[in-house]
Chains A and B, each alone.
Chain A
Amino acid sequence: MSRMILRKMRKNQKGVITAVKKDGELGRRIRDMGLVPGTEITVQGRAPLYDPVALRVMGSVISLRNNEADFIEVEVQP
């Protein structure tokens, strides 16, 4: 088990969110989508130019930009 920021995660890697370090509109939008501590995520893939990233969260697929993923910390399975 190790912690890393979401941007660094590889395709198909799984993890559990430990923190979302952002307030304001962006923070709100991230939480609205269910990206809160304790949520399991899987990196589904990336856009052709490696950005944004697509995540599987609670049965839906959410995309966010890499610079938005920087605020999300994840505990990943090795």
Chain B
Amino acid sequence: MTAEFRIALAGNPNSGKTTLFNALTGSRQHVGNYPGVTVEKKEGVYRLEHTKINIVDLPGTYSLTAYSEEEVVARDFLIFEKPQVIVNIIDAANLERNLYLTTQFFELGIPVVIALNMIDAARDRGIEIKEDRLAEYLGVPVVPIIARTGFGTQKLMEETVRQAAKKKEWNPKPISYGEDIDSTLLDLEEKITAGNFLIDTYPARWIAIKYLESDQQIIDRGRKENAVLSAVLEKEVEAVARHLRETMETYPEAMVADHRYGYIKGILQRGVISHKYDKDRLYTSDRIDKVLTNRFLGPLFMGLVLFALYTFTFNYSELPVAWLESLFGQLALMADHLLPDGQLKSLVVSGIIDGVGGVLGFVPLIMFMFFGIAILEDTGYLARVAFMLDRIFRIFGLNGSSVMAYILSGGIAGGCAVPGVMATRTLRSPKERMATLLTAPFMNCGAKLPVLALFIGAFFSENKAQYMFFFTILSWTVALVLAKLLRVTVLKGESTPFVLELPPYRFPTLKGLFIHTWEKTWQYIKKAGTVILGISIIIWAMMTYPGLPEKDKEKFVQQRQEVEAAYPAMIVAGSNMTISEEEAAERSRMLAAIDRAESGMALRYSVAGRVGTALESVSFLAGFDWRTNIALIGGVAAKEVILSTLGTAYSLGGDNQDQSGSLGQVLAADPGWNPVKALSVLLFISYYAPCFVTVICISREAGSWKWGAFSMVFNTLFAFILAILVFQIGSLFC
């Protein structure tokens, strides 16, 4: 007979929870999101002979309060989905702190099995734990394991199945919180039970504890359920709070927390734990930290690491990116041969293959980036980066972890906002994270670089290096200042507490790194791939339709015929040519010129062209003409499109990639352009709406399309105002 159980895996961050989950479920994992929030929900299956165990990996938390999304998600899962057992993983070297979460499971009464992890590392530190005593005093099974090597995991699962099979009722453990609190608790509990107040969902004593802790989520639910009774409870809590404040200068929630620790200390003191060495002995990890967070060496090393991450992400992914590019080039070529000339071919080649290729082209980048970050995160170094840089970033309403997103987005010129925005996942504070991901696209990504290079080359060629440097510094300034602006307006609010654990340095496991990298990359492919296909088709249609009227097309046909008539020998296929090589070159040059003139005219005639022309009535303020406008519209699809579209608009031929030199010359010679206009356009391009892939990533990471739309509107407005200022003021002097 087969049995099926559902268990939850819970524990502190850095307790080895993910390693255990990977060890148990291997590749049989499914990653999704909890409804309505960006917290990941991971599920996997473990088989023990005939028993199927569905494991849900809860987010790593220190507590079960209502302050962070992760904690709310974790406790709502426990309460509403009622897993049969919680496997509570605990870092053996850090028993006391880790058991704090366990006491909160006891308060809920859910059956717990403790996985005492990293007993090897604890032993190295001279810590010996008598697990049988611990199990006896806590009243739950304790299984020592080493998740990295798989030691003890089978035994852990056997114990878990044994517990699950008992189908125990939830049985809240009464922990004492001191006389004042205990008597209030009893009273509240009585009222809650008598009033039948939320007790279908939560244990009565637990509701009472949450009221004492002023837990906003539970109080809100209570008010909705029975406003009168809720008010009575709140009043009683207030009375005891006042009493505690006056007599002991403390808060009910502090009393509850202190007594939870008291309960843990009481157990550990009964011969559960022994330290072989002096408790203050410096461990290897602390010695490493003496160097890596040293006042002088620390920042130096951090600079090297961040630069290495950047180089790794962008340089080493170059080859696979080139492979993908040539693959899509081949595909486009194949489609070119197979399909007849016309709209369908144009759609397949320019719309679908280019669009999907654009998205998949990022895949190697993202894989390398996540791999690099996974190493930094799993070794524990990432927390040190946040620690060292926090003071600077706090000034701008961000926190130390923001630096990674900025650097990957192009803080060192040439990054990409897509991995940058996705890297904000490492920020645990929601407002700081939003401000970072909304401002990261202001950095100079790799696709903006050719635009910068071309304009600077054409108009400021004497001071190229200085201008490039200036634009990099300016990007940092803009991103940080606007982050500050967002944090005092739409993302207003106190900075999230920065109480951060600096976990001991550890060697990451290769399996963990690969699973982590693949998961994130696959999510990107799924989300971005589907949406971007639709959008690139729309952009393609805007730049293609309506086609030129027959009358104009005929004109170009006629021109071609004239050229062909002038150099007739080419039409006769054969080896005995009569025309010279120069004549042949001249002929193809003229034909190409006609093609370019036609595509330039067609572009102006298309929807995008008309929009660009219509926008001139506003954009003249910043000095943009219709050609620039079309290019900027195209740039919303991908910044790479800007130069090629501008080329087409100037009838330079859209397809050949090596026309940037000539485009630069054309612009420099054009009387409609001058350095002021060039600067205004450059600033606009640097800061206006992010490309669509980035917008999709922003929406996904922020959990709502509203933020994607916000970033498009906000960035464009900001860039436009900046461009107007520069153009208007600059024009006064030129």
Contact = CB atoms under 8 A, between A and B. Distances in A.
Contacts of A54: 289, 293, 387, 502
Contacts of A27: 251, 253-254
A65 B254 contact: no
Interface in B474-510: 496-504
A3 interface: no
Interface in B56-99: 62-63, 65, 67, 93-97
A31 B497 CA distance: 12
B96 A20 contact: no
A23 to B, nearest CB: 4
Interface in A22-58: 23, 25-34, 36-40, 42, 44-45, 47-52, 54, 56-58
Interface string B252-280: 01100110011001000000000000011
Given A23-B254, A27-B254, A63-B498, A33 B97 contact: yes
B65 A28 contact: yes
Given A48-B298, A61-B502, A32 B289 contact: no
B96 A45 contact: no
Specify the main secondary structure of chain A where it touches its partner.
Answer: mixed
A77 B67 CA distance: 35
Contact of B299 (A19, A48, A52): A48
Given A47-B387, A48-B299, A31 B502 contact: no
A52 B310 CA distance: 26
Contacts of B286: 44, 56, 61
A30 B499 contact: yes
B391 A49 contact: yes
Contact of B387 (A32, A34, A63): A63
A64 B94 contact: no
Contact of B289 (A26, A38, A45, A68): A45
Given A32-B100, A57-B97, A52 B293 contact: no
A26 B254 CA distance: 11
A36 B100 CA distance: 12
Interface residues of B, number: 50
A75 to B, nearest CB: 16
B497 to A, nearest CB: 4
A60 B94 contact: yes
Nearest to B91: A60
Nearest to A45: B293
Interface string A4-31: 0000000000100001110101111111
B69 to A, nearest CB: 13
Interface string B495-529: 01111111110000000000000000000000000
Contact of A34 (B127, B261, B500): B261
A32 B390 contact: no
Interface in B239-258: 249-251, 253-254, 257-258
Nearest to B293: A45
B289 A25 contact: no
A32 B502 CA distance: 15
A2 to B, nearest CB: 19
A44 B387 CA distance: 13
Q: Which of A33, A42, A68 has the most CB of B within 10 A?
A: A33
A39 B391 CA distance: 27
Contacts of B262: 38
A62 B502 contact: yes
A78 interface: no
Q: Which of B96, B214, B257, B295 has the most CB of A within 10 A?
A: B257
Contacts of A20: 254
Contacts of A42: 280
B390 A59 contact: no
Given A23-B251, A23-B253, A60 B501 contact: yes
B125 A59 contact: yes
B254 A51 contact: no
B394 interface: yes
A16 to B, nearest CB: 13
A34 B100 contact: yes
A45 B294 CA distance: 9
Contacts of A33: 62, 97, 499, 501
Contacts, number: 137
Contacts of B305: none
Given A28-B63, A32-B62, A64 B97 contact: no
A26 B251 CA distance: 13
B384 to A, nearest CB: 9
Nearest to A69: B499
Contact of A28 (B67, B279, B496): B67
Contacts of B67: 25, 28-29
Q: Which of B63, B262, B496, B497 has the most CB of A within 10 A?
A: B497
Contacts of A31: 254, 257-258, 261
B501 A29 contact: no
B388 interface: yes
A38 B502 CA distance: 22
B344 interface: no
A31 B254 CA distance: 8
Nearest to A66: B391
Interface string B380-401: 0001000110111010000000
Nearest to B275: A59
A24 B63 CA distance: 14
B498 A64 contact: yes
Nearest to A62: B501
B132 to A, nearest CB: 22
A29 B499 contact: yes
B380 to A, nearest CB: 10
B253 A61 contact: no
Contact of A51 (B127, B261, B390): B390
Interface in B158-182: none
A32 B94 contact: no
B249 A21 contact: yes
A46 to B, nearest CB: 8
Contacts of B499: 26, 29-30, 32-33, 62-64, 68
B94 A48 contact: no
Given A31-B257, A48-B298, A49-B392, A26 B497 contact: yes
A50 B390 CA distance: 11
Interface in B363-395: 383, 387-388, 390-392, 394
A30 B67 CA distance: 13
A34 B95 CA distance: 11
A51 to B, nearest CB: 5
A36 B255 CA distance: 10
B528 to A, nearest CB: 34
A65 B390 contact: yes
B501 A48 contact: no
Given A47-B391, A60-B503, 10 more contacts: A23-B214, A25-B67, A28-B65, A34-B96, A48-B299, A49-B391, A50-B391, A58-B94, A61-B289, A62-B502
6 contacts: A32-B62, A47-B293, A54-B387, A61-B501, A62-B501, A65-B390
